[in-house]
Amino acid sequence: MTRTRAQLLHMAKSLFEVYNKWNLEDIMALRTSDCTHNVLPSSLGQAPLDNNAFRQFVENLMIGIPKGFNFTIDEKAPLVDESAGKVIIFARSKAETVAGPYANEYIFVITVDESGTKIARVDEFVDATIVKEFLPRFEAAMAKVA
C-alpha cells in the first residue's frame, strides 16, 4: 500500500505534537512495535534505540525536562518520499531543563509504516556542537536530582 503525501505529513506533524504534549504513552503510541530511534551524527556515540531503550531515554529526559520541549517545524519545506514512506523535516526546539535553557536545531528523517498510521523509524540529526556543550551541565544537574 502506498502511503499518501497527506498521510506521511500527518504522521510527521503528529510526532512533534506528542513531543510538545510530553506524554510518554502518547509518544510511544505513535511507534510500531519494532520502531528504532537514532540520534545522529554518530560522533555523539548514541546507540540506536529500540522501543524499550527509547522509553527509558524519554523517562530520564522527563526528569530533567519536566515541562517538555517546544518543537517548531518548518512546514514550508518538508521533503516527502511517498514510495519510501519518508518525511524529512527541519525542526527547532526550546526547553527549560534542570541545567537551564536548552535550544537546538534538527533534521528528522521519519519513516512511516506501510499502513501509514505508525512511525517505524526516526533518524534525528542534532546540532552536535550544542549537545556536546550542554550535555555535561545537564548530566551534572541530573546527578543532583537523582
For position 56, which CATH number holds?
3.10.450.50
Average confidence (pLDDT) over 72-85: 93
Q: For the beta carbon of residue 129, count every other beta carbon within 10 angstroms.
A: 9
pLDDT of residue 8 exceeding 90: yes
Residue 1's pLDDT band, with cuts at 50, 70 and 90, is: low
Q: Work out the average pLDDT over 93-118.
A: 98
* Range of the structural domain that residue 112 is part of: 5-145
The grid coordinates of residue 26 equal 502518547
Interval 41-60: pLDDT, tens = 999 999 999 999 999 999 99
Q: Is 109 helix (H, G, I), strand (E, B) or coil?
A: strand
Classified as helix, coil or strand, 97 is strand
Q: How many separate domains does the chain show?
A: 1
pTM over 0.85: yes
Residue 145 is predicted with a pLDDT of 87
Place of cell 536548552: 102
pLDDT tier, 76 (very low <50, low <70, confident <90, very high otherwise): confident
Q: How far is CA 107 from CA 1, 99, 135, in A?
A: 26, 24, 19
